[in-house]
Structure 1
């Protein structure tokens, strides 16, 4: 790998870390010595790249650096295109439109001779029918608002719930939202295609979303272990 390619790879590594990352970790990801890593960081800082931090403390890439997504390797491009095709296929409205636009933007900035159409990976997931419900859940998560839903379970029994949405999972059969259910005072999962009425409750969740997500992950881990 040339030094210029390595410097670009270093920037990409820093972009992948949202928090300060140790120099040893970066050196390991790049396959170089720690001394070389320090030199590369100093070179980039000297060129005006906004890298904050120092040896022994860690590094983080600050705002203000704009790089077009030109440098996907073959496997990275496969992964990105496959993911966008999944969204386009599963959610033809709403996020599906966003996926198509994102794919067009990536196509426009790829180097000459490369194309997203070269990715020969197809998605066979069925198209979802819950785009409006998903849009409302995403809005609630962004705003950290509670949701009121009318739900009908697999036996056809109806209930009204106030929930705090956490994350949406996409599975072969259906999309499912993980929530904290006020009625059950516990985590509950609901299929989007069984949700009838859905609306913002007009008040914020009683716990921050990031804390709910962390607790839900622990809950899932305990269930898997059991």
Structure 2
């Protein structure tokens, strides 16, 4: 068969709390993060979503748009292997892929019309704000959930589940911020408990360096002390 080139055009983009790649959960539904798929002007007919209310979850197919220029390699570094060991690109969900296509299964929270246009509200997102969406498909439990499926993840490092503490002076700021973003307190905890630091740093239970995570329009500073993530600073961008 002759190789063929295929042109794929985004159908819209997603808005999410994640303004930078650092600290985005490595898989969907690891943090209770909400988002909206905003359809482009070519998709202004609400009928494109007819029947979608019957599905609790959907697949989002998207483009790793910020990595497109970096190309790809046959092997990639795997965070679950400590950040330095490698595995084949097709045995991973690395963002550096031959065609830069990703997929996430997210909770369907319904369709609405806003000033931006038609949007699909979703929850459990792991996508950078502004990520181009190339397709939406219903999640089918009878076909997509295979009870006999296996993986090798048990042999890898587990996803961290650290305790998260918020400094008293940050709590006051966070209370004010939550008046606009009600999910922010929970989101901070669910993101940071997974230890947002580079994988090779996870073995350090005392790390006084301040790391910064951007959620919505806030910079959240944290360090690790006695195996606990401590939120030490919060700045408005």
TM-score (norm 2): 0.26
Point out the structure with max Rg over C-alpha.
Answer: 1
Greater strand fraction, Structure 1 or Structure 2: 2
Tell me: higher relative CO, structure 1 or 2? Use CA pairs within 8 A at least 6 residues apart.
2
Greater helix fraction, Structure 1 or Structure 2: 1
